[in-house]
Amino acid sequence: MNAEQNMLLTQTGPGTPMGDLFRRYWIPALLSTELPEPDCPPVRVKLLSERMIAFRDSEGRLGLIDEFCAHRGVSLWFGRNEESGLRCPYHGWKYDITGQCVEVPSEPAESGYCEKIKLKSYPLIDRGGMLWTYMGPPELQPPLPEFEFATVPENQRYVSKREQDCNYLQLMEGGIDSFHSIFLHSMSASSDPLLKRDPASIAYIKADPHPAFVPLESPGGLYIATRRNQGEENYYWRVTQWLMPCISLFPPYKGNPYGGHAWVPIDDEHALTFSFDYHPDRPFNDVELEAMQGGRGIHCLTVPGTFRPLANLYNDYLMDRTAQKEGRSYCGVLGFGEQDSAVQESMGPIEDRCRENLVGTDNGIIMTRQRLLKAAKAVQAGMAPPGLDAASQRVRAFSSVLPRSAPLHSAPEMQVTAGGSK
């Protein structure tokens, strides 16, 4: 990679090629629980370097509007959420969920002055435990998200959110890089009820410690496939689904929930990680639910009242050298999510990819970058990016044992779509 490509991939603010690409998709903005009821307190939201306010009005409708009052720039986070609108506390200007100013108390109503004032706004919808927004051209708004985790019943899904101190891309590249788990997470899996490996999968992995990484283009992004030899006749495949522009679905080990992440840029040096577990066909049991709520698996405990992880950049992720030395943690940081955060954020706010030396296990990362760059150029040329349609989103990550002569696309699991249909 060169510096120009790195800059293109990591900058997502207004008017940037990658920012334009992100703005063509529905992306997660908040957890549904952050706006639980009509007229609840508004919430600050920063996405793709834009500062906004989200609120739920008296009728329960959701709005995402410019953070700052059009009068003299006061943050509407201080506003009063009342009577179907958000009122600035400074001089009483009031806005509805579309950003339209509906009242300027100092001006006569008959003057029509408030009708001339409208803040920038974006649609905000509640789906799958998250509030999603679309920040692109209104006339190009795609269908609502149809990812399986967003459509299963509430008791079959768990979603968490955390703020991270680096660019979205190095978070996402860490998430789709399965090889690191052999080292970084190696001493933690057996004690985590959400990530325990079954005996069969352990045998498959131990049988071939040098897997081949075979990324393949999919309609919505990539199949990031890891292939291991199983005897003389078969391959063991584990396939992560990476879906444009920032969602990854990884396969479970037997009995565990399916999992995944969405990495959403706050700005070029900070990002949100939404992590989700789900079962397609059953509710969570008590052990699973307690583990997720306790920050196990891919989730993290956060500082109460915030989305900052308890173990974070500013306290060295609660590094425990004794645990590292005694073999309770390979890297000394406890917890899967915390381990990922530590190594990803250690690269700095934006990794200098010009200094990298990539190898075969990085094939998925290389192809992801190429897919993003290609899609961003397509959008700049006036074309639609991939993965906007429901069919591209209704997919699962999976593992499968196949004859060596069989192509990956022949795996029965490849044909399963959201809801378990074929």
DSSP secondary structure of 83-120: TTEEE-TTT--EE-TTSBEEE-TTS-GGG-GGGG-B--
pTM above 0.75, yes or no: yes
Structure tokens at 27: 């992306």
Structure tokens at 6: 């790195």
> Which tens digit of pLDDT belongs to each residue from 353-400?
999 999 988 899 999 999 999 999 999 999 999 999 999 999 999 999
pLDDT reported for residue 208? 85
23: left (phi over 0), alpha (psi -120 to 50) or beta: alpha
Structure tokens at 46: 């920063």
* Cα distance between residue 215 and residue 242, in whole Å: 10
pLDDT reported for residue 420? 45
pLDDT reported for residue 156? 97
pLDDT reported for residue 194? 80
* Cα distance between residue 397 and residue 222, in whole Å: 11
Domains and CATH numbers, the chain: 30-140 (2.102.10.10), 148-415 (3.90.380.10)
Extract the runs of DSSP E, i.e. beta strands, from 105-220. 121-122, 124-127, 130-134, 157-164, 212-217
∠ CA 58-59-64 to the nearest 5 degrees? 80
Q: Which segments of the chain have a pLDDT < 50?
A: 420-422
* Cα distance between residue 32 and residue 29, in whole Å: 9
pLDDT reported for residue 326? 87
